[in-house]
Amino acid sequence: MSVIPVEILKKVKKIQIQTSRLVNDILAGEYHSTFKGQGMEFSEVRDYVPGDDIRSIDWNVTARMNKPYVKQFVEERELTVILMVDISGSGYYSSSRQTKNEMAAELSSLLALSAIQNNDKVGLILFTDHVETFIPPKKGKTHVLRVIREVLSFQPEGKETNFSSALDFLNKAIRKRSVVFLISDFLSSGYEKLMRVSARKHDLICVSLSDRREKEMPDLGLVHLQDAETGELLLFDTSDPKSRAALQVLYSRDRRNTSEFLSNHGIDQIEIHTHEPYVKPLVGFFRSRERWMR
């Protein structure tokens, strides 16, 4: 068994404290209202009272007891939640207090704690250009702490992003229909076919992370930009307004294409920015989903 560095344990504890408060105060109820379970299961029988639907009468019990009884059902609450987290090189970029990977760890913690509080199972898939690690779905706070620790401290082998291999793994490894949160900056392509398959099989929700400097580059003169995934270096003149505008156009186009693809295929998206609080868009998603499901 590997020894967990003290600084990682401190980070896990800090995130647990911060996110537990948010879950208890805000998110647990929103989560429960949004993900209501996938059916009804038999609970017990009770005496028939006038006005009850006669289709709910339990005729076997009624015959034995010589008076009418009806079946009662409760919502089948238990769900399986899968957190799919992109831990490729681009996630280490930050122009604010948090990298995208650190933001992904907090979001994973929030979602995992909300799920566990509602007695759901939680599993984890960490991926780069291949699946780096898989933690099968389980219940319990100890399990959630392991999930948080892995997202925070895992050292990936790969730097690039391959959604197709991760989605293919999801579709083969998780047989039961699950709620899947795919957390990434979506700076990749070629995933469309397998994402459509995943969206048909599971309740797929894409959590899109972005940093404002990916869209708006300040005037810093000549700078070297390095692709965190490929290592490619580019000399970029940030003092040129046309160059900055071109960068903004390319970024906006890619974001728009991703959003349009997800919308056209009925895949929900939550947009999170590293320089803004993430609670508002998360709660907004839960509430809009709840209204839509009514």
Here the tokens at position 50 are: 């006038």
**Per-chain mean pLDDT for the chain:** 80
Residue 252 makes CB contacts below 8 A (sequence gap 6+) with 215
* pLDDT for 85: 95
218-251 tens-digit pLDDT: 666 666 565 655 666 766 677 777 877 777 777 7
Question: What pLDDT was estimated at residue 201?
Answer: 93
C-alpha distance from residue 160 to each of 45, 165, 227 (Å): 56, 12, 10
Higher-confidence residue of 175 and 188: namely 175
The tokens of 239 are what?
């003092």
- Measured CA to CA, the distance from residue 238 to residue 35 in angstroms comes to 46
Residue type, 11: K
Widest distance between CA atoms in the chain: 89
- The mean per-residue pLDDT over the stretch 42-60 comes to 81
- β-pairing, 222-226 vs 233-237, is antiparallel
What pLDDT score does 173 carry?
Answer: 93
Beta strands in 33-185 (DSSP E): 40-47, 69-75, 80-86, 121-127, 131-138, 179-184
Instruction: Judge whether residue 141 has pLDDT over 70.
Output: yes
Span 38-66, mean pLDDT? 78
How far apart (Å, rounded) are the C-alpha atoms in residues 86 and 130? 10
> Is pLDDT of 1 > 50?
no
Residues 6+ apart with CB under 8 A from 106: 15, 18, 19, 98, 278
Answer whether 0.85 is exceeded by the pTM: no
Least Cα distance to 165 among 198, 135, 187, 139 occurs for 198
Quote the pLDDT of residue 70: 87
State the DSSP H helix or E strand holding residue 204, giving kind and residue range, or none if neither: strand 203-210
Residue 286 token pair: 């839960």
- pLDDT for res 12: 61
Beta bridge partners of 182: 84, 206
Return the structure tokens found at 60.
């076997």
Instruction: State residue 275 phi and psi, 5-degree precision.
Output: -95, 5
How far apart are alpha carbons 286 and 30 in whole angstroms? 6
Stretch 147-161: mean pLDDT: 85
pLDDT in tens, 53-87: 888 888 988 898 888 988 876 555 578 999 999 99
With the CA atoms of 238, 207, 255 and 204 taken in that order, what torsion angle do they form, in degrees rounded to the nearest 10? 160
Tell me the chain's radius of gyration from C-alpha atoms.
23
Distance CA 46, CA 58 (A): 9
